[in-house]
Amino acid sequence: MLLAPGRAGSGWIGKPARTPGGKVALRALGARDLVVGYGVVHALDTGDESLREWVTLAGICDLTDAAATAVAFRRLPKKGRWLAVVLAGGAAAAAFVARDRLD
């Protein structure tokens, strides 16, 4: 998403992924995921007590992606919309299950 947002996002959102505005939004999503992923890995590596919050944040981000896709579902590419809902929804569920097992 950061390096090739048009290519990475076109299957998900279609032609808008290749517009300047679409590329900005997709790069922002890529940066968000990079930061959240770094937070999770850093907390795991250092034993930081914020791990639960980072994993929760990751789940919320993925759930937001699934919900945003669902809202625009009929106007998105057929294959990409299902893939996005399944992957983002599954990632959100996995994050929340993982979070609940951290205690």
For 29-87, the pLDDT digits (tens) are 999 999 999 999 999 999 999 999 999 999 999 999 999 999 999 999 998 999 999 99
Do the Cβ atoms of 5 and 26 come closer than 8 Å? yes
Q: What pLDDT, on the 0 to 100 scale, is given for residue 79?
A: 86
Structure confidence at residue 1 (pLDDT): 95
What is the pLDDT averaged over residues 12-34? 97
pTM (two decimals)? 0.91
Contact 63, 75 (CB under 8 A): no
Instruction: Give the pLDDT score at 103.
Output: 73
